[in-house]
């Protein structure tokens, strides 16, 4: 229970009310925007890592005291197979209590009973490894996989894949059934002809958002002009629909501010957070753009509803969804940094942030928040 919750509980006791009574629930532990009861999973891709997954059981405690150490650590030969984790290739299934790890080459590791795993994860009933694509021809030539997201409502895993000329999002239904050593077909994909540089995807409650660095021009028949450059799409597991949010960063008319890499996160209300890597994009301003669901209608050249974050090399982000926490990490080129970035109540204008150094030897490439505790 947080400090506010302790004060609140004392107030309830003075009134002679039980803590669980209406109005006396700890504000930090309530679902739908509270910040209590949230854990964080961090993937360390460094060569010297003996523990690949660091688990912090209480993000609120870490936010208050950056010296807090991981409560659990996971390691093992199968986890080492995905050491070259895709950027943002880590996601949590809160309903199934599973952690998914996806490498740049399309190898996937699924860890069962993730909330209690500690130490070496090797039991054949607790960790599974499978591959995206039943053959090389099912993967893009010279392609790389990127961000992964699990929609626990529909049991669908989404993973981006792109090369220099194509981009798509894999749609893997029921990934919890994939057997160890198996391969999953690329028969279901989300893509729009002409999109390139797909690096970001996030899904929740049947809605999917995806980011692409570039692609074909998209006309605006109302204004008579067309838009090019980075685009943020919205849809479901079957298709993207409607207009994207799109705008060329080099166009003086552009309002969207979309830029390089575009890792995504979403919250309980369907708001979309996009991390942009300012240094590689040659951009300036804030690192996180915030779009409300209604911004996609009419879409096209729409400004973000909010923006925040002063860092210039933000590469990956993750939101706890049911709790209002956002975590991020930076990169230097293709190397992950060792500093964790936390935002408390990011959906509020009263948000606060903190940098938490995890060590110079740590290379963060994946983050996953579990707000269902």
> Is pLDDT at 7 greater than 60 in this prediction?
no
- Predicted confidence at residue 16, as pLDDT, reads 53
What is residue 20's predicted lDDT score, i.e. its pLDDT?
A: 36
Question: Same domain for 221 and 307?
Answer: yes
Q: Looking at residue 332, what DSSP letter applies?
A: E
Q: Is the pLDDT of residue 4 over 80?
A: no
- Residues 31 and 37: beta-carbon distance below 8 Å: no
229-260 per-position pLDDT tens digit: 999 999 999 999 989 999 887 788 889 999 99
> Which of the four pLDDT bands, split at 50, 70 and 90, describes residue 3?
very low
> Are 10 and 50 contained in the same domain?
no
Lowest mean pLDDT among 13-27, 157-171, 298-312: 13-27
Per residue in 300-315, pLDDT (tens digit) is 999 999 999 999 999 9
What's the mean pLDDT in 60-68? 97
Q: Are residues 22 and 91 in the same domain?
A: no
Mean pLDDT of the chain: 91
Q: Report the CATH number at residue 363.
A: 2.120.10.30
Structure tokens at 326: 């956002």
Q: How much is the pLDDT for 24?
A: 42
Q: Please enumerate, as own/partner, the contacts of 204-207 that have beta carbons within 8 Å and a separation of 24 or more.
A: 204/151, 204/153, 204/266, 204/270, 204/321, 205/151, 205/153, 205/270, 206/151, 206/153, 206/154, 206/236, 206/237, 207/234, 207/235, 207/236, 207/266, 207/270, 207/293
pLDDT above 60 (res 30): no
- Indicate whether 17 and 136 sit together in one domain: no
Residue 234 and residue 254 share a domain: yes
4 shares its domain with 81: no
Overall number of domains in the chain: 2
Strand partners, 366: 43
Q: Are residues 142 and 88 in the same domain?
A: yes
Measured distance CA(253)–CA(248) in Å, rounded: 9
Query: Helix (H) and strand (E) counts for the chain?
Result: 4, 28
How many residues can be counted in the chain? 373
DSSP codes of every residue in 218-287 = EEETTTTEEE-S-EEEEE-SS-B-SPPEE--TT-TT--S---SS-EEEE-TT--EEEE--HHHHT--S-S
| One domain for residues 84 and 179 | yes
Domain match, 226 and 328 both: yes
Structure tokens belonging to residue 110: 């699924």
Same domain, yes or no, for 23 and 109?
no
Kindly tell me the sign of the dihedral angle through the C-alpha atoms of 30, 31, 35, 41.
positive
Residue 38 has pLDDT above 90, yes or no: yes
Residue 4: its H or E element = helix 3-14
Q: How far apart are CA 201 and CA 213, in angstroms?
A: 12
- Tell me what the mean pLDDT of segment 151-168 comes to: 96
Q: CB within 8 A of 50, min separation 6: which ones?
A: 75
Instruction: Say whether both 274 and 297 belong to one domain.
Output: yes
- E-state strands within 58-166: 72-75, 85-93, 98-103, 107-112, 119-120, 127-132, 144-151, 156-162
Note the pTM of the prediction, 2 decimals.
Answer: 0.91
Q: In what order do the strands lie in the sheet with 196-204?
A: 196-204, 207-214, 231-235, 245-246
Domain that holds residue 3: 1-30
Whether residue 9 has pLDDT greater than 60:
no
Q: Based on the domain organization, do 177 and 102 belong to the same domain?
A: yes
């Amino acid at each position: 229970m947080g400090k506010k919750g302790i004060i609140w509980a004392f107030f309830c006791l003075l009134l002679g009310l039980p803590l669980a009574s209406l109005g006396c629930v700890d504000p930090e532990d309530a679902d739908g925007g509270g910040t209590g009861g949230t854990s964080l999973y961090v993937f360390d891709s460094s060569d010297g890592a003996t523990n690949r997954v660091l688990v912090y059981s209480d993000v609120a405690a870490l936010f208050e005291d950056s010296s807090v150490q991981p409560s659990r650590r996971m390691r093992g030969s199968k986890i080492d197979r995905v050491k070259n984790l895709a950027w943002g290739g880590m996601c949590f299934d809160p309903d199934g209590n599973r952690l998914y790890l996806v490498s740049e080459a399309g190898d996937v590791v699924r860890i069962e009973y993730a909330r209690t795993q500690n130490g070496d994860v090797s039991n054949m009933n607790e960790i599974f490894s499978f591959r995206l694509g039943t053959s090389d021809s099912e993967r893009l030539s010279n392609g790389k996989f990127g961000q992964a997201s699990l929609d626990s409502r529909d049991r669908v895993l989404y993973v981006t894949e792109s090369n220099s000329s194509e981009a798509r999002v894999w749609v893997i239904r029921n990934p919890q059934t994939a057997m160890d050593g198996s391969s999953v077909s690329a028969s279901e994909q989300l893509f729009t002809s002409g999109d390139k540089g797909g690096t970001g995807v996030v899904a929740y409650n049947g809605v999917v958002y995806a980011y692409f660095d570039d692609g074909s021009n998209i006309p605006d028949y109302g204004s008579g002009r067309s838009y090019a450059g980075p685009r943020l799409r919205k849809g479901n597991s079957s298709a993207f629909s409607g207009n994207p949010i799109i705008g060329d960063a080099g166009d003086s008319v552009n309002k969207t501010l979309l830029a390089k890499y575009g890792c995504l996160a979403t919250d309980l209300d369907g708001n979309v957070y996009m991390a942009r890597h300012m240094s590689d994009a040659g951009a300036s301003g804030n690192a996180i753009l915030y779009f409300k669901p209604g911004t996609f209608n009419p879409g096209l050249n729409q400004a973000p509803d909010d923006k925040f974050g002063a860092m210039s090399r933000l590469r990956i982000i993750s939101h706890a969804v049911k709790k209002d926490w956002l975590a991020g990490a930076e990169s230097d080129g293709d190397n992950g940094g060792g500093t964790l970035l936390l935002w408390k109540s990011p959906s509020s204008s009263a948000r606060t942030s903190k940098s938490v150094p995890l060590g110079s030897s740590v290379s963060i490439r994946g983050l996953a928040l579990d707000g269902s505790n």
